[in-house]
């Protein structure tokens, strides 16, 4: 594509908007390289990518994009066998986990988003790297103690040496003969060695090595000679820890180096997907859509908006080119929007062929152009001693030499900058040459000769931008089908031109040969404007009728909802009444117990029992529930949303086992029979997705997904107070999932933890019984809990 046109028409500004939306450095680089293309297949494929990403953003609750960092420098280090640093490893670990999420997401939705799924297929499987990294780093990105046996040994030794060294230092601080030497009776660290603060005047009295001094110089930080060896041992252990961590990183570096190619390719695939979603986000911001590709070579941009003008100020215009005419001549007042209309067409064509959606109406269509040429603005070339006219002619000559029938040509004020008669003659000759070549052309002009030429030449159409004669201001509306006047007198009057000068100018103009044509154009444009206003009024009335119809439909839905609210309210009132009756009845029964001392115990118990049974038999009307369609067992599949009748809520099928299903409900796994599930309504699924999005947005906590609830809990090594929260959570989840029995592994030991756990189980009303496991299952070290 012509680089001059990209700059003049504002494509680079749109590109910068896309760069800002791209989330990672890699996707920003792809956005900066974006250029329009002229191959129809490549344009269609790029637009398909944008369309799939746009639909995904519109319809899916969440998309696993973002959170990717540029790991290419780290991959290059690994390829050159340079040991990776901790942050390099963490970045690679985070990325490969995100890669897996992205790949799985689009593989699961391959039918809905086939091109995005095809791109995601290029992401490799890095489960081995992820597993190894997880064995080295914890969720806080700290190196685990058990990253290697040697590291665990060294860290245990460091802990023991630190404890021993602190004990030695505490002994020194508690020595009575040293008390007067201390500035403060505390232990601190300098140069990774434990020291004590000593007053300056006692530096020679206290045996030790000076490591630092305070800012004031009144305090010295001295390592007592008694703990030098302990500090040396501690330092040696720390050096060993550092070397062992470096060895672990070398092992991870070799692992990454072995998969360098796959990691680099996957990184590029993910960057491409991020860029595709940046295009979709840009479409959302612009309220843009995808125009159809015209097979007949017709440009029809319905209510097109210039994407670089504020959406609140831009005036939409419908631009039609091709078919009966391929050259459109735009006339009208200065500052009336002629150039903006032309730039809108050019920029939207460039965006379309770069795979971007454009801000137009749904019925729009565009052909694929080979190139876009533009001659817009005054680019006077002082360095080459070229005037405005010369600069324009130089560009027009270039266009005439290189353009074809498949090109779009935009020329502003063709033939201007020289004698009007000569300029209009040159402009007509240029248009005639372009007409013979069959190019698509949009030209602005003030020359009446060009207006006449367009009226008298088939395949060339006039158009104009409106001017409001009452306010003496342009409306920026483009009208195709008639030429317009320049309104120079009206604009001059609005800008303060003296009346006597205007009068003289009008007198001179009235003597011109083409004055009648100007009057005819003004009258014709006024009639055209009235017809458009009448059409707009009819369209508004039709829209009002449709709006009233929608309001009536919504009112009907409100009445139905209100009826259900009344039923629900009645049920709540009945429930409250029943509860109050029960409370009152229990009070009466208590009074009966106190007053009926003369009756036998058997008669009193019988009367009380009869009263309670009568109260329990008070029933409430069932809530009116809509009939639901049963689920077809043959069509049921994992991942499908179903309505669980017994729980009165939605769930997602995670496993199918004959006539029994395992269903995930809000992070909890339950087992239900096939007959207990029904087909959900679409609005229920939408409400559930909205609730999940709202919960996700209101909290930064992201729970780790689990496939199912655990059936055993290991609390060996914990105290009762440490283990109790885990035991309570474990029992709650197992009870909700329907598991019975479950195992609590507490170990044998002294038996104290086992006794405390059993005492806790005795206090739980939902525990039916508990017992020790058999010898093969762990014996006295394991308790089986039955619900």
In order, the DSSP letters of 187-200 are: -EEETTEEEEEEEG
Asked if residue 166 and residue 240 are part of one domain, the reply reads yes
- How far apart CA 384 and CA 397 sit, in angstroms, is 16
Percent of the chain having pLDDT more than 90? 37
Q: To which residue do tokens 């919960």 refer?
A: 695
The better pLDDT of the pair 659, 26 is held by 26
Same domain, yes or no, for 276 and 297? Answer: no
Domain endpoint, select from 250, 277, 311: 250
How much is the mean pLDDT over the chain? 82
Residues 587 and 685 in one domain: no
Query: Residue 626 domain-assigned?
Result: no
Q: Give the integer Cα–Cα distance in Å for 58 and 54.
A: 6
Instruction: Between 560 and 479, name the one with better pLDDT.
Output: 479
End residue of a domain, out of 455, 475, 495: 475
Lowest-confidence pick of 427-441, 601-615, 760-774 = 601-615
Q: Are residues 646 and 762 in the same domain?
A: no
Region 263-279: what's the mean pLDDT?
A: 95
- Beta 219-224 vs 193-199: how paired, if at all? antiparallel
Is beta strand 677-678 parallel, antiparallel or unpaired with respect to 292-293? unpaired
Note down the domain range covering 41. Answer: 3-126+259-286
For the chain, the domain total comes to 6
According to the model, what pLDDT value does residue 492 have? Answer: 63
Looking at the chain, the whole-number percentage of residues with pLDDT higher than 70 is 83
* Selected residue with higher pLDDT from 467 and 114: 114
In a domain, 633, yes or no: no
Residue 766 has pLDDT above 90, yes or no: no
**Strand-by-strand arrangement of the 782-786 sheet:** 712-714, 742-745, 782-786, 769-772
Q: Quick one: pLDDT at residue 47? A: 96
Q: Whole-angstrom Cα distance, residue 623 to residue 572?
A: 10
State pLDDT tens for residues 712-764.
889 888 888 888 888 888 887 877 766 778 889 988 888 888 889 898 888 88
**112-146 exposure pattern, b = at least 16 Cβ within 10 A, e = fewer:** ebebbbebbeebbebeebbebbeebbeeeeebeee
Q: What is the pLDDT of residue 667?
A: 62
134-148, 177-191, 240-254: which has the minimum mean pLDDT? Answer: 177-191
Per-residue model confidence (pLDDT) at position 614 = 55
Cα separation, 345 vs 252, whole angstroms: 54
Residue 448 lies in a domain: yes
- Claim to verify: residue 269 and residue 368 sit in the same structural domain: no
Q: Which of 74-88, 108-122, 653-667 has the lowest mean pLDDT?
A: 653-667
C-alpha atoms less than 13 angstroms from C-alpha of 131 in its C-beta half-sphere: 4
Higher pLDDT, 633 or 156: 156
339 in a labelled binding site: yes
CATH number for position 239: 1.10.1420
Adjacent-strand bridge partners of 71: none
The token duo for 593 is: 């117990």
How much is the pLDDT for 384?
43
Please give the pLDDT value at position 734: 78
Q: Which of 659, 655, 650, 658 has its CA nearest to residue 678?
A: 650
Q: Looking at the structure, tell me whether residues 280 and 321 fall in a common domain.
A: no
Strands, sheet with 193-199, edge to edge from the N-terminal-most edge strand? 188-190, 193-199, 219-224, 208-213
In a domain, 324, yes or no: yes
410: which strand partners? Answer: 374, 442
Judge whether residue 264 has pLDDT over 90: yes
Annotated binding residue 337: yes
Q: What are phi and psi of 592, to 5 degrees?
A: -60, -40
In angstroms, the CA 80 to CA 381 distance is: 51
Q: What is the pLDDT of residue 79?
A: 94
Characterise 355 by phi-psi region: left (phi > 0), alpha (psi -120 to 50), beta (else): left
In a domain, 507, yes or no: no
DSSP state string for 163-195:
HHHHHHHHHHHT-GGGGGGBSSS--EEETTEEE
The token pair at 690 is 């909205």
CATH at residue 83: 1.10.1420.10
pLDDT for 293 equals 93
Using a 10 angstrom Cβ sphere, with 0-12 exposed, 13-18 middle and 19 or more buried, the burial of residue 268 is middle
CA angle 244, 245, 247 (to 5 degrees): 65
Mean pLDDT of the 649-677 span: 79
Q: Are strands 460-468 and 440-444 parallel, antiparallel or unpaired?
A: unpaired
Specify if 490 maps to a domain.
no
Q: Please tell me whether residues 172 and 187 are part of one structural domain.
A: yes
Whole-number pLDDT of residue 351: 96
pLDDT at 31: 95
Q: Residue 327: beta bridge partners?
A: 441, 460
Q: Tell me whether residue 634 is in a domain.
A: no
- pLDDT for res 591: 65
ω into 225 cis (within 30 of 0): no
* pLDDT of 608 strictly over 60: no
The rounded distance, in Å, linking the Cα atoms of 374 and 175 is 91
Higher pLDDT, 627 or 608: 627
- Contact criterion met (CB below 8 Å) for 67 and 234: no
679 and 642 in contact (C-beta within 8 Å)? yes
Q: How confident is the model at residue 464 (pLDDT cuts 50, 70, 90)?
A: confident
Question: Tens of pLDDT along 511-530?
Answer: 655 545 555 555 555 556 66
Residue with tokens 């760069």: 19
Q: Are 455 and 481 in contact (CB under 8 A)?
A: no
- Structural domain includes residue 727: yes
Does 664 belong to an annotated binding site?
no
Q: Exposed/middle/buried for 642, CB within 10 Å: 0-12, 13-18, 19+?
A: buried
Please give the helix or strand (H or E) that residue 504 lies within, else none.
helix 499-510
335 is in an annotated binding site: yes
* Contact criterion met (CB below 8 Å) for 220 and 44: no
**Confidence band, pLDDT 50/70/90 cuts, at residue 704:** very low
Confidence of residue 589 (pLDDT cuts 50, 70, 90): low
Contact 709, 669 (CB under 8 A): yes
Indicate if 238 and 359 belong to the same structural domain: no
Q: Does an H or E element contain 360, and which? A: none
Q: How far apart are CA 461 and CA 480, in angstroms?
A: 8
Residue 334 is assigned to a ligand binding site: yes
Are 152 and 193 found together in one domain?
yes
**What is the reported pLDDT for 570?**
76
Partnered with residue 20 across adjacent β-strands are none
Same domain? 424 vs 387: yes
Structure token digits, residue 626: 């809509």
**Cβ atoms 194, 223 nearer than 8 A:** yes
The pLDDT of residue 338 is: 86
Whether pLDDT at 680 is above 70: yes
- For residues 277 and 408, state if they share a domain: no
**pLDDT tens-digit readout, 298-342:** 999 999 999 999 988 889 999 999 888 999 999 877 777 888 999
The answer on pLDDT for 2 being more than 70 is yes
Tokens of 706: 């689990």
Average pLDDT of the segment spanning 78-89: 94
> Above 70 in pLDDT, residue 695?
no
Helix (H) or strand (E) holding 208: strand 208-213
**Mean pLDDT to the nearest integer, 1-18:** 92
pLDDT at 404: 93
CATH of the domain at 780: 3.30.1370.110
| Positive or negative torsion for Cα 721, 726, 728, 729 | positive
Our CA dihedral for 38, 39, 41, 42, rounded to 10 degrees, sits at -70
Q: How confident is the model at residue 707 (pLDDT cuts 50, 70, 90)?
A: very low
Could you tell me which residues come within 8 angstroms of residue 497 by beta carbon, excluding any fewer than 6 positions away? none
Note whether 78 and 267 are within 8 A (CB).
Answer: no
CATH number at residue 460: 3.40.50.300
- Residue 491 pLDDT > 50: yes
The predicted pLDDT at position 28 comes to 95
Structure tokens given for 630 = 């049963």
Mean pLDDT value of segment 702-713: 57
Residues 556 and 597 in one domain: yes
Q: What is the pLDDT of residue 88?
A: 94
Residue 174, phi-psi category: left (phi > 0), alpha (psi -120 to 50), beta (remainder): alpha
How many Cβ atoms sit within 10 Å of the Cβ of residue 430?
A: 21
Going from the C-alpha of 146 to that of each of 129, 133, 245, 308, the distances in angstroms are 17, 12, 11, 57
For the entire predicted model, the pTM comes to 0.62
The span from the CA of 104 to the CA of 81, in Å, is 31
Q: Where are the alpha helices (DSSP H) in 126-259?
A: 127-136, 149-173, 228-258
Q: Which helix (H) or strand (E) holds 52?
A: helix 40-59
Least confident of 281-290, 468-477, 636-645: 468-477
- Across the strands, what pairs with 365? 292, 300
531-560 pLDDT per residue, tens:
666 777 887 888 888 888 888 888 877 887
């Amino acid at each position: 594509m012509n680089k001059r046109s990209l700059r003049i028409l504002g494509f680079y500004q749109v590109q910068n908007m896309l760069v800002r939306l791209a989330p990672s450095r890699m996707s920003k680089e792809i956005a900066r390289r974006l250029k329009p293309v002229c191959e129809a297949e490549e344009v269609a494929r790029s637009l398909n990518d944008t369309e799939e990403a746009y639909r995904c953003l519109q319809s899916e609750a969440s998309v696993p994009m973002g959170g990717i960092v540029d790991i290419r420098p780290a991959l290059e280090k690994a390829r050159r066998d340079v040991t990776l640093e901790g942050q390099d490893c963490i970045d690679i670990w985070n990325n490969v986990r995100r890669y897996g999420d992205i790949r799985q997401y689009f593989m699961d939705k391959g039918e809905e988003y086939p091109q995005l799924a095809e791109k995601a297929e290029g992401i490799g499987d890095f489960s081995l790297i992820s597993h190894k990294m997880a064995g080295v780093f914890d969720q806080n990105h700290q190196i685990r103690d058990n990253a290697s046996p040697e590291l665990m040994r060294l860290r245990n030794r460091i802990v023991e040496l630190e404890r021993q060294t602190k004990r030695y230092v505490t002994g020194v601080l508690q020595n009575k003969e040293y008390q007067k030497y201390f500035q403060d009776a505390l232990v601190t660290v300098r140069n990774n060695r434990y020291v004590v603060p000593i007053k300056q005047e006692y530096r020679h009295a206290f045996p030790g090595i000076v490591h630092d001094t305070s800012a004031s110089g009144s305090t010295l930080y001295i390592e007592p000679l008694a703990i030098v060896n302990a500090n040396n041992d501690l330092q040696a252990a720390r050096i060993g820890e550092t070397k062992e961590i470096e060895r672990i990183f070398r092992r991870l570096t070799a692992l990454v180096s072995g998969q360098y190619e796959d990691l680099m390719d996957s990184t590029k695939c993910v960057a491409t997907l991020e860029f595709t979603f940046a295009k979709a986000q840009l479409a959302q911001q612009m309220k843009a859509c995808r125009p159809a590709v015209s097979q007949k070579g017709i440009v029809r941009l319905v209510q097109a908006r210039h994407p670089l003008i504020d959406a609140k100020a831009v005036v939409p215009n419908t631009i039609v080119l091709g078919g009966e005419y391929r050259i459109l001549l735009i006339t009208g007042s200065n500052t009336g929007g002629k150039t903006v209309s032309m730039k809108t067409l050019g920029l939207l064509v460039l965006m379309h062929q770069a795979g971007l959606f454009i801000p137009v109406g749904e019925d729009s269509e565009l052909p694929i152009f080979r190139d876009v040429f533009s001659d817009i603005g005054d680019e006077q070339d002082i360095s080459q001693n070229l005037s405005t006219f010369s600069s324009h002619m130089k560009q027009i000559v270039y266009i005439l030499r290189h353009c074809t029938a498949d090109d779009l040509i935009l020329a502003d004020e063709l033939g201007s900058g020289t004698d009007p008669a000569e300029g209009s003659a040159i402009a007509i000759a240029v248009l005639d040459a372009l007409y013979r070549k069959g190019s698509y052309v949009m030209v602005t002009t003030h020359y009446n000769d060009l207006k006449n030429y367009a009226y008298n030449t088939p395949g060339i159409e006039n158009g104009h931008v409106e001017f409001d004669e009452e306010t003496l201001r342009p409306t920026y509306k483009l009208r195709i089908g008639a030429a317009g006047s320049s309104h120079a007198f009206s604009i001059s009057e609005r800008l303060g031109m003296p009346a006597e000068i205007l009068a003289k100018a009008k007198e001179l103009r009235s003597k011109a040969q083409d004055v009648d044509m100007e009057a005819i154009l003004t009258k014709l444009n006024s009639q055209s404007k009235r017809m458009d206003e009448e059409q707009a009024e009819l369209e508004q009335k039709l829209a009002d009728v449709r709006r009233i119809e929608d309001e009536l439909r919504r009112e009907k839905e409100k009445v139905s909802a209100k009826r259900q609210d009344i039923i629900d309210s009645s049920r709540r009132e009945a429930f409250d009444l029943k509860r109050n009756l029960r409370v009152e009845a229990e009070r009466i029964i208590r009074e009966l117990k106190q007053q009926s001392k003369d009756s036998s115990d058997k008669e009193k118990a019988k009367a009380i029992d009869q009263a309670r049974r009568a109260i329990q038999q008070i029933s409430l009307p069932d809530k009116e529930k809509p009939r639901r369609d049963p689920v077809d067992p043959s069509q049921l599949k994992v991942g499908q949303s179903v309505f669980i009748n017994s729980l009165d809520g939605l769930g997602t099928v995670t496993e199918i086992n004959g006539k029994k299903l395992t269903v995930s409900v809000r992070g909890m796994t339950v087992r239900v029979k096939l007959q207990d599930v029904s087909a959900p309504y679409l609005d229920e699924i939408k409400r559930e997705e909205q609730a999940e999005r709202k919960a996700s947005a209101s909290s930064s906590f992201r729970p780790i997904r689990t496939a199912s609830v655990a059936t055993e809990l290991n609390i060996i090594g914990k105290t009762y107070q440490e283990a109790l929260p885990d035991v309570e959570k474990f029992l709650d989840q197992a009870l909700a999932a329907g598991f019975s029995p479950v195992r609590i592994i507490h170990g044998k030991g002294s038996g104290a933890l086992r006794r405390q756990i059993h005492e806790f189980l005795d206090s739980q009303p939902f525990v039916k019984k508990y017992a020790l496991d058999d010898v093969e299952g762990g014996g006295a070290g394991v308790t089986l809990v039955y619900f």
